[in-house]
């Protein structure tokens, strides 16, 4: 059996009209994305609108990263005609939501044991190129000073965001 997928295009202007600010507005877009999620890739056309609203973007697309890997969301939902500021905002939101997802899934080991395991694994080998800026029980967020990329690590998986160019998120399961 050959499985076929179909790309669906959603136009923000058609869905929201002139109201593209609040969580309620974003929820309308999210509802449409979820409706067509199983059919195949979704293209969200922002029509060069300037959104600049965390609430809207988070509710429309960001919250999807609570249910799926950030990379999967990025691959599945393609945003076109989006303002550069909004694109950056979306990337940041996906990273935050992905971090939240990883954290909620991770068991809560003792921090000392967690850091010890990281050291042995060599995940953050060079102190000169890596700066750890946040540690929580079960998760660790680091910024690579050389490339500027952010990495969120926990037992549940890893999410990375590149700092320059077209940023994207990727996730992979760590074998443990």
Partner 1 sequence: MMNLEFPKLMSVGWSNRLIGTCSEGIDSEDGQLVFDLRRVEFLAPFGVTMLAATVLECLRQGKACSYRPPESEDTRKWMARIGFDALFLPNAEAALRTSSSVELRRFTDIDPNYVENLIEVMDHHLTLGDEDRAQITMYLVELMQNAKDHAHSDMGYFVCAQAYPKAGNLRISFVDVGKGIPTKLRTLKRYKQTRDDSHLLVQATHAGVTTREDRPGGMGLTFIRRYLRRSEGTLTLLSEKGKVAFQPKKIVQAPWKRVQRFPGTAVDIVMRPGD
Q: Who's near 139: CB < 8 A, 6+ residues apart? A: 99, 102, 103, 106, 152, 153, 154
To partner 1, the closest distance from the beta carbon of 163 in angstroms equals: 12
- Between CA 131 and CA 127 the distance in angstroms is 7
Mark residues 127-146: x for contact with partner 1 by CB under 8 A, - for none. Answer: --------------------
Q: Which residue bears the tokens 């540690």?
A: 135
93 binds partner 1 (CB under 8 A): yes
Count CB-CB contacts under 10 A for residue 130: 17
Q: Which residue bears the tokens 């929201």?
A: 16
34 binds partner 1 (CB under 8 A): no
89 binds partner 1 (CB under 8 A): yes
To partner 1, the closest distance from the beta carbon of 18 in angstroms equals: 8
| Residues in region 9-28 near partner 1 by CB under 8 A | 21-23, 27
55 binds partner 1 (CB under 8 A): yes
**Where does residue 37 rank: exposed (0-12), middle (13-18), buried (19+ CB within 10 A)?**
middle
Q: Could you list the residues that contact partner 1 (CB under 8 A)?
A: 21-23, 27, 50, 52-55, 58-59, 62-63, 66, 83, 85-86, 89, 92-93, 96-97, 99-100
């Amino acid at each position: 059996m050959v499985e076929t997928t179909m790309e669906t295009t959603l136009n923000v202007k058609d869905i929201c009209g002139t109201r593209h600010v609040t969580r309620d507005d974003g929820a309308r877009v999210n509802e449409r994305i979820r409706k067509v999620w199983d059919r195949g890739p979704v293209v969200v056309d922002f029509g060069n609108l300037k959104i600049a609203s965390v609430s809207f973007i988070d509710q429309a697309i960001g919250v999807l990263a609570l249910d799926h890997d950030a990379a999967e969301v990025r691959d599945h939902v393609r945003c076109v005609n989006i303002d550069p500021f909004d694109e950056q905002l979306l990337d940041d939101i996906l990273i935050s939501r992905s971090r939240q997802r990883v954290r909620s899934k991770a068991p809560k080991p003792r921090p000392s044991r967690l850091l010890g395991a990281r050291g042995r694994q060599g995940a953050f080998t060079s102190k000169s190129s890596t700066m750890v800026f946040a540690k929580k029980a079960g998760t660790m967020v680091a910024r690579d000073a050389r490339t500027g990329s952010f990495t969120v690590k926990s037992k549940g998986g890893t999410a990375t965001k590149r700092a320059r160019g077209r940023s994207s998120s990727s996730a992979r399961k760590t074998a443990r």
